[in-house]
Amino acid sequence: MHHRARTLALILSAPLWALPPVACGQGDLTSGGSDAVSADGEVLAPPDADADADGAGDADPGVDVDADADGASASCAGAADDAACDDGDACTLGDRCAAGECVGSAVECDAPTDACVSALACDPATGACAAAVWAPEGSACDLDDDLCTLDRCDGAGGCRATAEVDSCAAEADADPCWSYACVPDQGCAKRTLLVGAPCDDGDRCTQDDACADATDEGAVCVGTPVDVDDDNPCTDDTCVEGAAEHAPIGDASCDPEAECDVAGACVAGVCEATRACVCPGDPGCPAPVCTTPCAHGGACVADDTCDCAGTGYAGDTCATPVCDPPCDNGACAAPDT
């Protein structure tokens, strides 16, 4: 120390031109090449070798100014994507760098358990989920543990008692085969089975649904199937979702609507005769129609055709007498006369 002080005194007393040349950076108070010395001869600690010209070396030694991309940093400038960071928002999680920006996933709040709170939201100051939206005034809540009283939200997060009592109308509408009554510690409970009461069995292919006797599974709603029969022996008639469907039946015998009893078969949903009807001759042939009735006991054997055999008359309607042998000069006024 004393040696350096004497050296400094000699240097200060010597003229400038007598000083030996010094390489740039040696003996410079801002250089890290050697110990710096103050004007009174005190040896100064060398400056931070990593300090830059802006005085970064004066930074708090507890702060890592060279934090790399894997450290948490509020700024992602120059950091690699997916590097940890902090966006300064308490309502985000898992902050990571992405394209130079610090991005986090929003905190998701659970559904509220308070009936008078409609939604929870994250508080940016604390990161905790807190009430954000109150349930509308008049919303149902439970204040007194009596399941038959209808307590209501006041629209400001509070639950208030009312004079309303649950009539169990909703339960009765949903299950019309039972009467319901409210019990304070149970709520709406079944009381009486209403056999014969109208109901809906949920089947669109039934009608006149009514409540039947109860089974082990409860009351049964039973309806009468809708009639979808089209009186066609060659179709299979069914009801599907309330609509009638008539599927053609093939290769089945049927009774065609023919003039006589002729066998038939179903073809593409239509009953067709297997042969033409022959009349007269086939059983079941319809009776012929003679527009002018056959006279004198003649038989109508075909439409507008009379059979006059054995009547003594002839002609289309058996109105002309027949004389056998014929009259020579006179007129045949009656059979053989």
Residue 73, phi-psi category: left (phi > 0), alpha (psi -120 to 50), beta (remainder)? beta
d(CA 318, CA 293): 9
Could you tell me the maximum CA-CA distance found in the chain, to the nearest angstrom?
A: 199
pLDDT of 276: 79
Query: Mean pLDDT throughout 274-291?
Result: 79
Q: Is the pLDDT of residue 266 over 60?
A: yes
Nearest to 208 by CA among 192, 227, 185, 189: 227
Tell me which residue has tokens 């169990």: 168
Q: Which pairs with CB-CB distance under 8 Å and at least 24 residues apart come from 113-118?
A: 114/157, 115/139, 115/140, 115/141, 115/142, 115/153, 115/159, 116/141, 116/153, 116/154, 116/157, 116/158, 116/159, 117/157
Q: Is the pLDDT of residue 139 over 50?
A: yes
Parts of the chain belonging to CATH 2.10.25.10:
288-337
Q: Is the pLDDT of residue 15 over 50?
A: no
Residue 125's Cβ-side half-sphere holds a number of Cα atoms within 13 Å equal to 1
Considering the four listed CATH numbers 2.60.120.260, 2.10.25.10, 2.40.50.140, 3.40.50.1820, the one that applies to the domain covering 288-337 is 2.10.25.10
pLDDT of 1: 39
Cβ neighbours of residue 194 under 8 Å, at least 6 residues apart?
A: 176, 177, 178, 179, 211, 219
pLDDT of 145: 82
Q: Is the pLDDT of residue 192 over 50?
A: yes
What's the mean per-residue pLDDT of the chain? Answer: 77
Alpha-carbon torsion 264, 266, 269, 273, what sign? negative
Q: State what percent of residues in the chain have pLDDT above 70.
A: 75
Least confident of 255-259, 266-270, 309-313: 255-259
Reduced to 3 states (helix: H, G, I; strand: E, B; else coil), residue 193 is: strand
Q: Is the pLDDT of residue 5 over 50?
A: no
**Which among 64-68, 69-73, 204-208, 216-220 has the top mean pLDDT?**
204-208
Q: Is the pLDDT of residue 241 over 80?
A: yes
Nearest to 78 by CA among 86, 69, 87: 69
User: What are 37-90's pLDDT values in tens digits?
Assistant: 333 333 333 333 333 333 333 333 333 333 333 334 457 988 899 999 988 899
**How sure is the predictor about 153, in pLDDT bands with cuts at 50, 70 and 90?**
very high
